[in-house]
Structure 1
């Protein structure tokens, strides 16, 4: 059997690599290790900022690279090879807008997650109403720092909002060309919830920066995803794989649909694509 050329495999986290309880299936860990031993690069490609990525991913040996903050920060073998943060005046303008439309919001950056201190009670209710449920959400999504000066939060890559008083489409029109507004993978109710990133910076952009740093080729890329911020990633890759639990629209655009994350979907796709036996 002909040996497969080296591939760079980009992997979303929530709903793809792990389930929404933050658990990595044993079959997925086996597939990752086996593929890496065969010479392929395993690269996280997540909307999560670096501070939000699980410690076992950041500090472990399963992955050769991390694209975080929806393409705004790229690490290769522990070294930062690209980073871009939201301009301070743009952050200030955006927070004024989100306050105006009555949205609860979080600033997400390389160093942490930030929220206005006077919105803490709203955060508590959003995440279940108790300190225990807030602690559980912090375990899954990252610890929140409540601050009196959210506009001065450092190293901001993106924003998440909940309960906006306007539609995603209207918000995009209001905010203009600097920002991109999409639905969030972590909807917590029937309200308008979403993510705001810098226009032009997405997972596909981060993928290219990783390849540039490592001499990789786009035609040797495979990407796995499940959610609304994975369309560009799957479209950019030579082979785009949607998990069985993915959005129906993402499945339609994918080159391959595998089983759900909790049904050994990652391993089955690795086998089908020849990354492992």
Structure 2
């Protein structure tokens, strides 16, 4: 059996920016002294005149991006999720969200898979923060194919977009002819009737692995990939809940305010359904190898399988 191709979505971000930059002269990229890590250095190498290093000043970077957008540019402001969503939250809210400017935020190194950088850099709160900003689109792609498509869709969308990328290389799962990315539309990856597993980001692969293990136990799990957390594909979520009767959400993010909360918001109003939220359980992360951390916090395939099985029995 051939080895599964793995690519970090931050790499996808850098590659997508270069491709878009060749097609659109109004695209500019900003970074906060992290171009090598966020992979915007790829864009800088090809288009040095359209890359702005703002230094370790994320708040100022967001302000510059806001100004550039009013001058007809399409800025992609890039930094670690902890800094882009955390440190610069006020500027994102007031300078980008409030005037609803055409600024794209490329947030890399999200979640506990940042690994050895530890709790201070493992942002498990960014989706929750960005969801609360009126008019902000929040996208969390699951692999290379989806990440590239998301960057393109973000460029084409008029308005603020938050894009969440990871440091860890993850399996490519959407490399198929019929794959289509559309903001606000989830993707059903596997049919099932016993439980609906609704996942986002790198946890989509974990959900698929868990579904395989559940199938061996005679449990048919439906797997839904929600790459856009805001606006949420409410129709798909409600349909999956009604079909299966039980829902599990899986995310590399706090269970407070993220995908799980978004799903529960919809279901409690439109289709009351029991929901298990799998994610970071109201704790900070810790330093360690990314794969081992995912295992410890039960966000890998085995961990998701164990939790889902215990939930539906």
State if a TM-score over 0.5 links the two structures.
no
Higher helix share: 2
Higher strand share: 1
Alignment TM-score, normalising by the size of structure 2: 0.32
Answer 1 or 2: higher relative contact order, Cα 8 Å, separation at least 6. 1
